[in-house]
Structure 1
């Protein structure tokens, strides 16, 4: 196995493999109750994170970070999520983020995108703080 040379194929493969990796970690959490932190750096140097119960709950105690500031951001995201859930039609699947992106509404995709960007910013900031004490 060797690294792909075609940039376009590399990006598509990375995206698919990353999604599969996140899915496997989700299954491990569900089946075993594991606490997991996964950081993935893309070929374009973007950081993707996945944590259970949350990135902050795992990273905070390891590096002595106060969790309060990030908890506020998480509360805002939670409130936003509650509003979206409230606005959904009756009988619709309440776990929309687990659906294929082809099944999500534009609003759901936008919310997911913003949540991931916020999480990415939080992890990046924490990494910068850790590398520059």
Structure 2
């Protein structure tokens, strides 16, 4: 089994259980994928997974503290920008100007209304996804 395993759980999940579930899902779903695993009983688990579509890797200007950026252009509405899921603080906005302009440009190249999301990868590049609204 290759790759990484990220756990978001309210309760402790035994590592061996996670490895067994991941091995079973690997046999049925191409990586990368998001999975949901639910405890049904003391030794019984239910799992489901869906493939994740990866975007393009891009380089964005450096100098801002976020690990994810979003530019949202809804139909007939104003453009909205978010950093790490929250609106960008006015005091920090100048740090993001170039990166957000690049994301908006890429979104406009593909769609009239869109969401562009960039997630920081190891090594400083960003994984980009662009979806229509």
Structure showing greater relative contact order (alpha-carbon pairs closer than 8 Å, 6 or more residues apart): 2
Q: Is the TM value for this pair above 0.5?
A: no
TM-score, L = length of structure 2: 0.29
As a proportion of its length, which structure holds more strand? 2
TM-score normalised by length of structure 1: 0.29
